[in-house]
């Protein structure tokens, strides 16, 4: 009965949005992204609570961000909202320095042409990543909840772990040695990136676009919330057909590469840094 009820409500939402589909339709969605990090995976078990608190505060600017998704029926542009950086707030030691080397610019998605264009800076060099949009196999769940004024429905998917996803790194389970990618900390512990990450999304058919924050899209309505590993992305404000016209323009500056090529470049540089740090300053946090 619950499944039938949710399907019925979903149909009502789609019918109610028919008038929006018949007109020029655009909008902006504001998101807050927060990533939690278990510092015990990076030598935190050897720190005092005061040291952990200090490092967590210094890394806050990298782990808590706000974004704006500007969208129309087929395109979107997703970029970080500009804000003042707190003096001394960009630290966090070695891990903070590595994460701070990735400066993400605008991300353009065209769901009609299946195209993704990402403006990305890495160690002072500008890249323009051009590729197809990542595909997730969404499973519709029989759950709904209210997010602000929008009735939202649950969908889940499983995405492959990314070797460069520092936020989801963890200490290896010693009972499971079959890892996708791993490295050692200074203390000799092995950390890994999970092979698979469960993604939970909440979307609303009341906003009839199959867009969402970051790499997430492909549901019958705007994605308002995402939970993936240690990261939560939550929509905090929505503007539909604002008086000032929404501008969606794909980024165009930087060295053009595919996503696979870019990840290879980053991985090579990461290995260089591991060797550099591994050869000197052992035991320092």
Range of the domain at 76: 2-278
Residue 285 is assigned to a structural domain of this protein: no
Alpha-carbon 65 to chain mean position: 10
In a domain, 262, yes or no: yes
What percent of the chain stands above pLDDT 90? 46
Q: Is residue 284 in a domain?
A: no
Interatomic CA distance for residues 165 and 102, integer angstroms: 11
- Domain assignment present for 283: no
Q: Is 6 part of a structural domain of the chain?
A: yes
pLDDT at 267 over 60: yes
Distance CA(69)–CA(232), nearest Å, equals 16
What is the pTM for the complete model shown? Answer: 0.75
Give me the pLDDT at residue 181, please. Answer: 46
- Tens of pLDDT, residue by residue over 89-148, are 444 445 545 555 566 789 999 999 999 999 999 888 999 999 999 899 999 999 999 999
- Report the share of the chain in percent with pLDDT over 70: 63
Number of structural domains (the chain) is: 1
Domain-embedded: residue 86: yes
In this predicted model, which residue has the larger pLDDT, 122 or 165?
A: 122
Strand residue runs (E) in 20-164: 26-35, 64-72, 75-80, 102-110, 115-122, 125-132, 139-147, 150-160
pLDDT digits (tens, 9 = 90+) for 52-88: 677 666 666 678 899 999 999 999 999 998 765 555 4
pLDDT tops 50 at residue 47 = yes
- Whether 11 maps to a domain, the answer reads yes
Q: Is 69 in contact with 76 (CB distance < 8 Å)?
A: yes
Average pLDDT of the chain to the nearest whole number: 78
Judged by DSSP in three states, 19 sits in: helix
pLDDT category of residue 185 using cuts at 50, 70 and 90: very low
Residue 239 and residue 242: Cα distance in Å, rounded?
6
């Amino acid at each position: 009965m619950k499944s039938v009820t949710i399907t019925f409500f979903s149909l009502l939402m789609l019918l109610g949005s028919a008038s929006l589909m018949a007109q020029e339709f655009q909008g902006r969605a504001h998101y807050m992204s927060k990533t939690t990090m278990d510092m015990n995976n990076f030598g935190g078990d050897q720190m005092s609570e005061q040291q952990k608190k200090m490092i967590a505060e210094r890394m806050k600017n990298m782990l808590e961000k706000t974004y704006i998704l500007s969208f129309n029926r087929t395109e979107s542009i997703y970029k970080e909202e500009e804000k003042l950086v707190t003096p001394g707030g960009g630290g966090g030691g070695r891990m903070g320095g590595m994460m701070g080397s990735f400066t993400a610019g605008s991300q353009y998605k065209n769901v009609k042409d299946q195209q993704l264009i990402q403006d990305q800076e890495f160690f002072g060099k500008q890249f323009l990543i051009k590729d197809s949009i990542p595909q997730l196999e969404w499973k519709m769940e029989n759950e709904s909840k209210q997010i602000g004024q929008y009735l939202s429905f649950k969908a889940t998917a499983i995405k492959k772990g990314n070797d460069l996803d520092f936020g989801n790194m963890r200490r290896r389970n010693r009972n499971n040695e079959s890892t996708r990618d791993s490295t050692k900390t200074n203390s000799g512990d092995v950390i890994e990136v999970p092979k698979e990450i469960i993604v939970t999304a909440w979307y609303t058919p009341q906003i009839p676009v199959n867009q969402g924050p970051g790499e997430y899209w492909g549901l019958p309505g705007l994605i308002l919330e995402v939970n993936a590993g240690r990261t939560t992305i939550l929509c905090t404000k929505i503007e539909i057909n604002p008086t000032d016209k929404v501008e969606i323009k794909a980024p165009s500056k930087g060295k053009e590469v595919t996503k696979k090529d870019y990840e290879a470049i980053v991985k090579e540089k990461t290995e260089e840094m591991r060797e550099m740090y591994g050869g000197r300053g052992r035991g320092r946090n």
